[in-house]
A and B are shown apart, each in its own frame.
Chain A
Amino acid sequence: ELKVEQNPLFLSMQEGKNYTIYCNYSTTSDRLYWYRQDPGKSLESLFVLLSNGAVKQEGRLMASLDTKARLSTLHITAAVHDLSATYFCAVDNSGSARQLTFGSGTQLTVLP
């Protein structure tokens, strides 16, 4: 069974600081997705990572994928309050029909 684990689950950080969210998964996959969810809202796609070594950047967020380590990271640079949200990673399981399994999410709060 595919397991997707994120850490930390909760993260409070000061504006201007850097931090990294980690996403580990348990089986073979080369397709990983990052989403953002604001309170009471739907999920919004941030990044699609489709190969080992893939790196995507948008503003203060940068995502990377290491399929050999079964690890993806979401790096936040110089955080601002607007980045406060819950961030999810999701994985397609290459070995089975199982699709888009989500991690537990990381609730990020950026403090002024």
Chain B
Amino acid sequence: DAGVIQSPRHEVTEMGQEVTLRCKPISGHDYLFWYRQTMMRGLELLIYFNNNVPIDDSGMPEDRFSAKMPNASFSTLKIQPSEPRDSAVYFCASRKGMGTEAFFGQGTRLTVV
């Protein structure tokens, strides 16, 4: 398996634009997580899905953020409109069942100017 695949790896966008980050989890994994990493706040869990259903979205910072998982092999995290404070590295991770290690993608480095 190629692991968790995220795209794009880097994204530079202007404030106010819509940004869509994409994630393909490892086949057979039923949990998918979205994290944001910054120097100031560390690794923050934004939302996670179990069997494509959002379970906990309490970490989503505000209504500008939304996430979907239309099927078991694809998830998106959308920011609309984007702001400079959204600049961060966004990681997607997946795992098979609770009590197992999660595997992380390479991340998307987002810069909003």
A100 touches B99 (CB 8 A): no
Residues of B within 8 A of A (CB): 31, 33, 35, 42-43, 45, 48, 55-56, 58, 91, 93, 98-107
Which residue, of A88, A98, A100, A102, has the highest number of chain B Cβ atoms within 10 A? A100
A43 touches B42 (CB 8 A): no
CA distance A47 to B55 in the complex (A): 25
Which residue, of B43, B48, B103, has the highest number of chain A Cβ atoms within 10 A? B43
B104 touches A43 (CB 8 A): yes
A99 touches B42 (CB 8 A): no
B31 touches A99 (CB 8 A): yes
Which size bracket describes the interface of A in this complex? 20 to 34
Tell which of B43, B58, B100, B106 touches A48, judged by Cβ atoms closer than 8 Å: B100
B98 touches A99 (CB 8 A): yes
B101 touches A102 (CB 8 A): no
A97 touches B45 (CB 8 A): no
B55 touches A100 (CB 8 A): no
B101 touches A88 (CB 8 A): no
Question: Can you name 10 A-B pairs with beta carbons within 8 Å?
Answer: A42-B107, A43-B91, A43-B104, A48-B100, A92-B99, A97-B55, A98-B56, A98-B58, A100-B45, A105-B43
A45 within 8 A of B: yes
* Contact A102 B45, CB 8 Å, known A42-B105, A45-B101: yes
A7 within 8 A of B: no
CA distance A93 to B42 in the complex (A): 19
B43 touches A102 (CB 8 A): yes
* Contact A31 B99, CB 8 Å, known A42-B91, A43-B104: yes
Tell me, rounded to whole Å, the shortest Cβ–Cβ distance linking B9 to chain A: 11
Tell which of A33, A50, A99, A103 touches B45, judged by Cβ atoms closer than 8 Å: A99
